A and B are shown apart, each in its own frame.
Chain A
């Protein structure tokens, strides 16, 4: 029956057509237009193109001479590393801990996942109040502990922590749930036999859990890399336009600023293409380095 169904390709094509159409109209067409826009001169949203730039690749040349673009690229790559180390790393650590307890698993799963369901704007406002210079929660706590001067958590010495901590915190739960599900899929019989063989907890993690989580961690890696390249909402709410002194720009925030605030739509399009290219290149590289394994 199955073989008959798959031999007839027409129904499959028929049912795949709407989704393909949807993708073509709302994803591939805008993407192609975006590439064209990156070569054009568009001086504001709501304005038609004035034709191609002279030279047509001038926006791509500008990418190499724009100091803010360098900052944005550096910060984005830094955020990618932070995401892999702190989001996936912390999620793995927590999942392994929770996997070894028998009670309260559902409670911790809900608690860690909860930040995901809160909107980034609300979280941004929340952390703004925590990091507020005058009367913020953190500075008030420090005052209680005898610190005499307020700390400007958004100044040049602290902005990286202030910007990245909320982002890391928000998505730990997301990877935590994925990894925990992966751990639940490992047969308990393997653990039981390892216990009979005298393996301790660390050995079980090292020789059973981690190898069997390989593919799950690979998926998390790709998701975290592509996610990090698109980070926008929380940093935008908290750090606005590159606060402080254009130090905190990310590719996402810089693209948005160029397009919506500066009205340089064509340059914004160019940055968005760089984000896509980087996403494809880095995730492909990560995929190659972290090949999927069959167990």
Chain B
């Protein structure tokens, strides 16, 4: 008897080792659940952490839960390279979500190449009205196979946030549409002489925005998304010139003293504390100002100063992120409709307007700005309306490793331990 119990216990223990290896074939799941019962779907987005749209996102998915009775298991995080890598690892290990809010560019290539997400065309073969409120020609096209996979919510723009209080104290005017790089550098000198930090940016952590605009300053909206073959071709030279502009700013002392040792969050706080005058960031940062500014009217957003052929009104922007339905959810008869309904609910006109009233949109009817828009939002709407050209961020054309290498080298470029050309060639070698 004892032997039998011992054997039984041992067998149970052995089997417990394999508990994580359970089969998740859709047919099995389908049999065990009734389609009428509430469906739990796993959703991963970048609306986690301190994202400015976190509250809007929660409100929207709770409305979906209330309307359908389904349950959303939210696994959102903050968008950065680690977040992207974690998502890729989840797909590799079969732990992918049912719906994913993710980048539309080369970052999603692996998902598409490995058949992990479903194209809009496939979804429309069963649900013809899917994403019908979006402009067809603006829906992002995958660079992997030229098909459309993602339904965009909010587009984005990148602009120059300005602390008007600091500028007023320095006797510097708030920049406008005709603002030039030379004027900007002169203003930075004035601001610095008054004891303020001209530019709030962490070159250690987030040099991305300054890279985009300084490179755009040596090219045009049309050429901005060309990838250089090497640092010596035309695009490569533009990249090197842009990076060297950042180096000049660093050498002149326009960045914070601890720009090479501080996080982006620490540095950006200088804007709220009225210690810094300018910062480049995206449309998503409006929420941060609304939460952290003592007085939102002390801040505005305007065009980043232009240089060479680029007008200041040429901006970086586009539709970079949207909702994907994963193959796993699509093949699951229980989850398929729930996932489609979720994306439909999250991309309705009124929801999209809430997420990005100031940004580029794919909505056929356009985004509706809220009636209670504050001065910063109004400035952002005016800025996007007045833009003369929009170019997507060129960094999105680099793969993860190349991008990480290039931006990790910005600190080395500004301190002179590597040339801009060498850093570009190093990153491009990884791209190949």
Contacts and interface: CB of A to CB of B under 8 A. Distances in A.
Given A14-B6, A133-B258, A152-B257, A45 B81 contact: no
Interface of B is mostly: helix
Contact of A17 (B10, B18, B82): B10
Contact of B258 (A154, A240, A246, A260): A154
Contacts of B89: 45-46
Interface stretch (B230-238, B309-317, B350-358, B403-411): B403-411
Interface residues of A, number: 33
Interface in A30-46: 43-46
Contact of B262 (A43, A133, A263): A133
A243 B204 contact: yes
B401 A133 contact: no
Contacts of B132: none
Interface string B1-18: 000001100100110111
Nearest to A43: B401
Nearest to B15: A18
A10 B186 CA distance: 84
Contacts, number: 105
Given A18-B13, A152-B258, A245-B411, A262 B92 contact: no
Contacts of B114: 46
B261 A263 contact: no
Contacts of B269: 134
A133 B266 contact: yes
A21 interface: yes
Contacts of A241: 204-205, 408
Given A14-B7, A18-B14, A240-B205, A264 B401 contact: yes
A102 interface: no
B400 interface: yes
Given A22-B17, A263-B85, A45 B92 contact: yes
Interface in A238-295: 240-241, 243-246, 259-264
A243 B10 contact: no
B110 interface: yes
Interface string B202-245: 00110000000000000000000000000000000000000000
B429 to A, nearest CB: 13
A132 interface: yes
B293 interface: no
Contact of A47 (B110, B257, B411): B110
Interface in A45-66: 45-47
Given A21-B17, A263-B400, A15 B10 contact: yes
30 contacts: A11-B6, A14-B7, A15-B6, A17-B14, A18-B14, A21-B17, A25-B18, A44-B401, A45-B92, A46-B85, A46-B110, A46-B114, A47-B88, A134-B273, A134-B275, A150-B257, A152-B258, A152-B261, A154-B258, A154-B262, A155-B261, A159-B261, A240-B205, A245-B412, A246-B412, A259-B85, A260-B81, A261-B81, A261-B82, A263-B400
Interface of A: 11, 14-15, 17-18, 21-22, 25, 43-47, 132-134, 150, 152, 154-155, 159, 240-241, 243-246, 259-264
Interface of B: 6-7, 10, 13-14, 16-18, 81-82, 85-92, 110, 114, 204-205, 257-258, 260-263, 266, 269-270, 273, 275, 399-401, 404-405, 408, 411-412, 415, 417
Q: Which 3 A-B pairs have the closest CB atoms?
A: A46-B88, A18-B13, A154-B261
